[in-house]
Each structure stands twice: as structure tokens, then as C-alpha cells.
Chains A and B, each alone.
Chain A
Amino acid sequence: MNTLFAILYTGIVLGSIFATSAVALALIYGTLRFLNLAHGGFLVVGGYVAWVAAHGLGLPLYAALVVAAGAGFALGLATYLIMLKPLIGVGSPRWDIATIMASIGLAIVIEASILLIFGPRLKVLPPAVDGGFVVGTTVIRYNALFLGVAAITILLATNWFLKNSRNGIALRAVAEDVNAAYLMGIPSGRIFAVTVAVSGALATAAGVLLGSFYLLRPNGGLDPMLTAIVVVVFGGLGSIKGTVVAAYIIGFLQAAVALVFGIKWALPALFAFLIVVLIFRPYGLYGAPEDARI
């Protein structure tokens, strides 16, 4: 019973955070067919920007979260302008390979810069709320609850943005069919820029949440990025709804494996799960077979 409750609690919090992180990846893949392997770098940037905002400027964690999201927006925009825009129009296999390679390069640049500026030591983000309470044998931290609520708020805001704002609607149109959207007068270039920027903001925000749940390390983005990739694939690459559902399933799975078998098995179990998913349901929960684009 206690284990079950612990799994439930960790699964909900982790699932919400994973969803935020994975939606960033799904958004960008759905619109640009760009598998952002610098996602881990974005997460780490978010954590460190929040750390500077919290310790340097003395801001509370929720304000630091906003600052980090702003930085992520700018970083995403810069990434689009420098790295992706010159490559648009080069054709399918070339686009995929070049963008994957470039994003790997970007990830290396980000990690190296963080290492140069902040050094290799672990950093701790201040909790938004101190304290907690005990249910059975499970310690519930108020801060973890805050992180879960923040993640869900971010997800709802993203949903609102996609469903109601002009840019969001245009983004979904481009994601569905870039040529049809173009013919309807949607400036696809601008929408690509908006997508990468919003995705950057989401990723850095998720990075703050992750950094507050765990700790900050310059190379701490790799494992959460792999988790996010598993989530996105399980949900069906590019499907936002699928991504969110998958995030909670993966969150529970990871919490269950870590609590029952030990933390060492969490990632291998995740990848074994991914292999099974790819064998039996290659397009994920909500995905559909797709063609190349751009």
C-alpha cells in the first residue's frame, strides 16, 4: 500500500514534468521534423539560468522559472536563425542528418559553456516552498507538489496557446500540412521560428522543474532528454495529446521500476519498453505513419 502510494505520488509529479519536457520535443518535431538532440542542453540552460536568477538576483523559484523560460525563448529563436533557417529547403535525408548533427554540436557547445561558466560542481535550486508532510512512510514535499502544479499549469497554458492564439493555430496548421498552410497565407518561416522559440521556452522551464526535483549538473541533460525521447516516441512522434498521455505512463513506469527494483533499472527498463513499443506499435499511441517534409 505504501509503495503503491509512493509510486502514485512520484509518478504524478515526474509525469507532469516529463510531459512539459517532452511536449517541447514533440512540438518541434511535429512542425519541423527536427529531432532536437540539443534538448538536454536546453534543459540544463533552464536550470542554470534559474539558479542565477534565484541566487544572483534573489528571485523566488516561480519568478526564476519565468526568467528561465524567457531565456529559453531567446535561445530557441537564436537556434532557429543560426542553425535551422539556412538548412530549410535542402530536402529530406539531408535536412534530417544535417539538423541532427548540428543539434548534437549545439548540445556540446551548451554543455561546454555551462562547464566553463559554472564549473563541474553540483548546484541546488532553492525550493519554492519549504517543508512537507508524511503519509504512511512516504514523505511528500511541498516543493514537489509545487513542481507538479507548475508543470500542469505550463501544459494548460501551452494547450491554450495552441488552441486559441493566432500563432498557435497557425503552428498546428503548419504541423499538419506545411504546403496547404503556406497556400492559406500562413508565413511558414515565421511559424517555424515561433515553434522553436516556444519549444525552447518549454524546455528551459522543464529544466528548472527537473533541476529543482533533482540537482543541477552541466551534463545532467542527457538522461532526461533520453526519457523525453522515449515519451515522445511512445506518444507518437509529433502528437501533443499522445505525448502528455505517454508522459504520465512513463512517469508511473519509471517510479514503479525505481521503487520496486532499484534506481539502476529505471533507464534500461525504459529502453526495453521503447524497443517493445517500436516493435508492436511503431507509430506510438496516437501517431500516424508520416512522410518527410521541408
Chain B
Amino acid sequence: MLRRAALRRLAPILLVLGTIGAPLPFVLPEYLTTNLILFFVWAVVAQSWNLVWGVAGVWSLGQMAIFAMAGYCTGWLIIHTGISPFVAAFFGVVAAVATSATMALPSIRLKGVYVILMTISFHEIFRILLTTDTSGFTGGIFGLPHYQGFVSDELKFSQRTLIQYYIGLAMFLISTGAVWVVLNSRLGLAFMAIGQSAVYAASRGISLYRTQVLAFVVGGVIAGSAGAFWSQYFGTMQPAVLSYDTMVLVFAMMVIGGWGTFIGPILGAFLLVWVSELLHETQQFRLLILGSVIVLASVALPDGLAPLIEGRLRNWRRVFNR
């Protein structure tokens, strides 16, 4: 039940992103390539977060816990069962979806800020249990010991980075395509409806319960893929991914880019990965500047950057169509 016009526009979007992305590792220095891999991961998480929070209006802060669950599950399976990393990653995503659905069940009875509190409780319990675990099951504060991901450790670092870059790019393109398809399907319409007015949507026959659970599930699949990728890319998993700072960074990507829009989270992720890289030179002032940027951006542009860009794009299109 996809709108045809929307589907026709998907191919050019992916093609443009792909053609920009494909030659980059040959043009850019290596550290920027690794930065782009980080951008892929955070962009995908921000997109999934945007589906749940920005579009469906369920204020969940549980996305990083889902991400971490996928990563930990992937890594743990690789270490302890010796199965292929690809199978492990698949089960990682399954675990992420299970976590997401578990979080959804108590959350969907609540509204607004209470959902934030419910999901942050899950996140915090997960984080504290991980950091204080001394049984050796998760490696506690030190995380899981090193394991081999999709790419063999015997290759040179630059070769591994190159292969991982293309895996990351593929993951980014697939997720972006999936988000586009979801947003333009009946399901996406239902997400938008409950996000904009839950009461009206419910009175028009959209099941709040079902739609919100589905938002969590779809968000879980996407965030879980990013988590599984992250885990096999670094070959280790540490509780730091659950730190407040990481959560704030990814959350800021969604908000500053523009929540509730398609392009917003991608834009925000690109901007913040780039800004925080640039800020490394300012060293001890880095956090101060980052915090100020977040305050200024949210006060000056409560809708984020995307509406500005989309308005500009619409103008261009009008020029071309004339």
C-alpha cells in the first residue's frame, strides 16, 4: 500500500547518497573515513529514534539501551558460542527487538514525559547492572574482551577500515531506505497520526496500542542493526555506549537535525559528528562549546534544521519545474 510517487523518489535519494558515499574512502584521509563510519552508525540510531520519538510521538529514551543490547548480544554470542559473526549479528538484532518490545509494553500506557521516565529507568538499570557486574558474564566495567567481527583480524588496518566502511555504508543506505518506505506507507501514516494527535487518530480507528508497539519494534530493528554493526566493527563492547554523554549526543542529533522529519536525523548526525571532530582541537573547551551549541540550537530553532533545508529544497524544485 505504498504511495507510488514516494517509491519512485526513493531510488534517486539512495543513488545520490550512494554515489557520494562510495568514492569517499579513496579521497579522504583514513581518520575521516573512520569518522564517516561513526556517522553511519549514529545516523541510523538517530533515524530509528526519530521514528519512535519524532514521528510516532512516543518519548522514549530507550534507544541507546536497545543499541547496546544488540551489540552485547552479538559480541557475547561470538565469544561464547563461536558461531559466525553474521549469525550472531542477526540474533543481536532479534535481542534488540525483544528489548524494545519489552520496553514498549509498560511505556505505551503512559503519556509524554512519563514515557521518558519509564524508558530512562530501563536504560539506567541496564547501565548500572552492566558497570557493576563482577560475575564475568558481561565483563563489567571493562566490557567484553576482543573478538573478531565480520572482517578478519589478519587484514591490515587500512583494508579492514575500507571493508567496514562499505558495510557501514550499505547498512546506512538500507536503513535510510527502510525508514523512507516506512514513512511513506500506511504504517508511517499511522505513526504520524498518533504523533500529531493521539486522540484524533484513535477516534479515526487507528489502534494506539498496536501502532506504538510497532513503532518500538521497527525502531528496535533499525537501532539493533546499528548496534550489531558497532559491536562487530570495534570487536568489543563497553558500558560506555550507555553513558549519559553518548545518549545526549545521539539525542541531540535527532533534535538539532529536526525531529519528525526524514532528513533531520541524518543532517543532525552529520553535523554533530563533524562538529565534535572539529572541537577536538579546542580540547578542554570542547564540552563547553558543544553544550552552548545545543542550548543555542534548541532555543533558536525548536524545530531543528530540517524545516529550513526542506523549505529551500521546495523552492529549488519549483524553479526546476517551471
Q: Residues of A with Cβ closer than 8 Å to B?
A: 35, 82-83, 86-87, 90, 93-102, 104-113, 115-116, 222, 226, 229-230, 233, 237, 264, 267-268, 271-272, 274-275, 278-279, 282, 292
Contact = CB atoms under 8 A, between A and B. Distances in A.
B16 interface: no
Interface of A (DSSP majority class): helix
A108 B296 CA distance: 13
Given A104-B252, A267-B128, A279 B295 contact: no
A112 B287 contact: yes
Contact of B295 (A94, A106, A113, A116): A106
Given A97-B255, A116-B284, A268-B128, 5 more contacts: A101-B251, A104-B248, A105-B294, A109-B295, A268-B129
A273 B25 CA distance: 49
Given A104-B294, A222-B244, A90 B302 contact: yes
A107 B59 CA distance: 20
A92 B295 CA distance: 19
Contacts of A107: 291
23 contacts: A94-B302, A97-B255, A98-B255, A98-B302, A101-B256, A102-B299, A106-B295, A107-B291, A108-B294, A109-B288, A110-B291, A112-B291, A229-B117, A233-B114, A237-B114, A264-B132, A272-B121, A278-B110, A278-B114, A278-B117, A278-B118, A282-B110, A282-B114
Contacts of A35: 113, 116
A89 B285 CA distance: 33
A108 B290 CA distance: 8
Nearest to A106: B295
B109 interface: yes
A109 B259 contact: no
B106 A275 contact: yes
Contacts of B299: 82-83, 86-87, 98, 102
Given A97-B302, A105-B295, A112 B244 contact: no
A157 B303 CA distance: 40
Interface in B125-159: 125, 128-129, 132
A271 B121 contact: yes
Interface of B (DSSP majority class): helix
A36 B124 CA distance: 18
B285 A105 contact: no
A199 B292 CA distance: 22
A95 B255 CA distance: 12
A108 B294 CA distance: 9
B34 interface: no
Contacts of B293: 105
Nearest to A101: B298
Contacts of A233: 114, 117
B304 to A, nearest CB: 9
B18 interface: no
List the 7 closest A-B pairs by CB distance, nearest first: A105-B294, A108-B291, A109-B291, A112-B287, A105-B295, A98-B302, A101-B298
Nearest to B115: A278
Given A104-B252, A274-B121, A98 B113 contact: no
B50 to A, nearest CB: 11
Nearest to A219: B244
B122 to A, nearest CB: 7
Contacts of B57: 93
A268 B255 contact: no
Contact of A105 (B116, B292, B303): B292
Interface in B272-320: 284-288, 290-300, 302-303
